[in-house]
Structure 1
């Protein structure tokens, strides 16, 4: 890794995020002329203009905007590399990097982490909240060691240990006419309701199971809007902007403004599984063994 390039990318990010060379210089603890020189050197190295000045400040060019996501990723990777190097210099073992979908943060993640801490008190665990698609990509890139995801079978080279199944519940704004009822709610009752949904790209299997359940109940779900996380689904429900079909594990959060109703009949979704990429390292192998003991579940359907 060329740390001069990474440093210059950090300078570029600061200017892009602050929208002003002076503010970016203060944030970085440097004077403005050297910052300008670093941006110019980066532009020369990449062969594109990244920042344009105006009387209002500075902003990325079209080329700069296109490079921003990758620049952020490289800067984050460099930060993690430096942090890991500090851990290793201090004589500590490398932390176990674990990705986790939102709906597994409260029921599957805590016992797994507690089990790891009991077995390996010296092992640090670094948790990243990622959706299934991003977690699988992080596994493939070697950014995480294991991941709690929604997956029903191996996806070579990713291997999967099913941990447990769950069911859908419906999240409703508290003022919704169906929110005050008691007893299980037939899924068909939700026909025509505006739904807040996760896009299929986040977790294709999860999305397809929800779609299939609605179709079996005799209707096509009406997607009011798509959001990037289950927490965002609940936030929009609390705001009165729609209803959502979510994992039963999310009901444990009991966010204000949201009512939950169980659904009549077993409306199963893809459960949570522990995934790893190919051959697991020592720490990941221990986590897998602990998960087998904690969650002796049959294979997901």
Structure 2
């Protein structure tokens, strides 16, 4: 049972319909209905009277309403009394696909540490599906994911855009292709290639890039950070978002370089993925603000 589920039932009661309640909590109707269904299953009662004309609070729900409101009032008093002190010893968990670490994440964590020194952050490097699952079940507080145009977050989650840029080839600095202004798909097919494992957006993009004809020598790995390290060590070439390479220590040291890929005009965006909830905990809000502020510093003012 989650506090948000109780809030959803109260919202349906106050607004008189599932549609208006979903608008008030910024959650889709199917996601709101599913959350209440899980609560109904756990409590063993029917809380919503679902009809073709819409869904409203049931008789059993009305009987339980005072108890639900009492719980929410107690939670509100607890949060107010504790304030930020409850977050002092709590570890904030951020899932990331491992991109823009040097460009965005590390500077944002430094900013957060300077502004809120008691906040502890655990960075979990993983694929996008586990990030989405962790956000939905509460085991992760925030996520950093790569998205393509048209990609939508799962129900119950939403994205805050941070960075966007082209896809580039990543090469060792002394590779023969590094002397060119750009490389093409045929160049990449002829070289050993370091691909991201299935489940990463860059794997999807590589499928688009190579079609049925992949490089003969192929290595798969987890995440951009390992990919760049393997390129630096001579395991092959790879493709990544430009913002994942710019400012990376390996690029700053001149170990790896990036080059445009001829004919590949796909833009990749980095988004901060969050759970839809009526309240954002202070420590989550602090890291969100640090990331969005850093993103604006990277991209510059709009216009």
Classify the TM-score, shorter chain. Answer: 0.5 to 0.7
Q: What's 2:92 paired with?
A: 96
Q: Does structure 1 retain, via aligned residues, the 8 Å contact 2:167–2:261?
A: no
- The alpha carbon displacement at 1:175 in A equals 5.5
- The alpha carbon displacement at 1:91 in A equals 8.9
C-alpha distance in 2, partners of 1:282/1:90? 10
Aligned residue runs from structure 1 range 72-151, under 5 A: 92-151=88-147
Q: What is the SS of the residue equivalent to 1:147?
A: strand
Matched, 1:285 2:285: yes
Q: What's 1:263 paired with?
A: 260
Q: What's 2:295 paired with?
A: 295
Shift of the 237–141 alpha-carbon distance from structure 1 to 2, 3 Å rule, reads same
Shift of the 273–207 alpha-carbon distance from structure 1 to 2, 3 Å rule, reads same
* Unaligned segments of structure 1, at least 5 residues: 1-87
Tell me the TM-score normalized by structure 2. 0.55
More displaced stretch, 140-149 vs 249-258: 249-258
Q: What's 1:28 paired with?
A: none
More displaced stretch, 92-101 vs 192-201: 92-101
Superimposed CA distance per residue, residues 16-40 of structure 1 (whole angstroms, 9 cap, x where no aligned partner): xxxxxxxxxxxxxxxxxxxxxxxxx
Q: What is the SS of the residue equivalent to 1:102?
A: coil
Q: What's 1:194 paired with?
A: 192
Which of 225, 228, 238 aligns to 1:234? It is 228
Shift of the 89–185 alpha-carbon distance from structure 1 to 2, 3 Å rule, reads closer
Which of 214, 220, 227 aligns to 1:221? It is 214
Aligned residue runs from structure 1 range 168-207, under 5 A: 168-173=167-172, 176-179=175-178, 181-201=179-199, 203=200, 205-207=201-203
- The alpha carbon displacement at 1:293 in A equals 4.1
Larger RCO, structure (CA 8 Å, separation 6 or more): 2
Q: Does structure 1 retain, via aligned residues, the 8 Å contact 2:99–2:223?
A: no
Shift of the 147–165 alpha-carbon distance from structure 1 to 2, 3 Å rule, reads same
Q: Does structure 1 retain, via aligned residues, the 8 Å contact 2:145–2:270?
A: yes
Shift of the 277–208 alpha-carbon distance from structure 1 to 2, 3 Å rule, reads same
C-alpha distance in 2, partners of 1:182/1:231? 24
Q: What is the SS of the residue equivalent to 1:272?
A: strand
- The alpha carbon displacement at 1:160 in A equals 1.2
Matched, 1:250 2:245: yes
Q: Does structure 1 retain, via aligned residues, the 8 Å contact 2:169–2:261?
A: no
- The alpha carbon displacement at 1:159 in A equals 1.6
Q: What is the SS of the residue equivalent to 2:177?
A: coil
C-alpha distance in 2, partners of 1:116/1:264? 36
- The alpha carbon displacement at 1:284 in A equals 1.6
Q: What is the SS of the residue equivalent to 2:176?
A: coil
- The alpha carbon displacement at 1:274 in A equals 0.7
Number of aligned residue pairs: 205
Tell me the TM-score normalized by structure 1. 0.56
Shift of the 137–177 alpha-carbon distance from structure 1 to 2, 3 Å rule, reads same
Q: Does structure 2 retain, via aligned residues, the 8 Å contact 1:237–1:258?
A: no
- The alpha carbon displacement at 1:173 in A equals 4.3
Q: What is the SS of the residue equivalent to 2:160?
A: strand
- The alpha carbon displacement at 1:89 in A equals 11
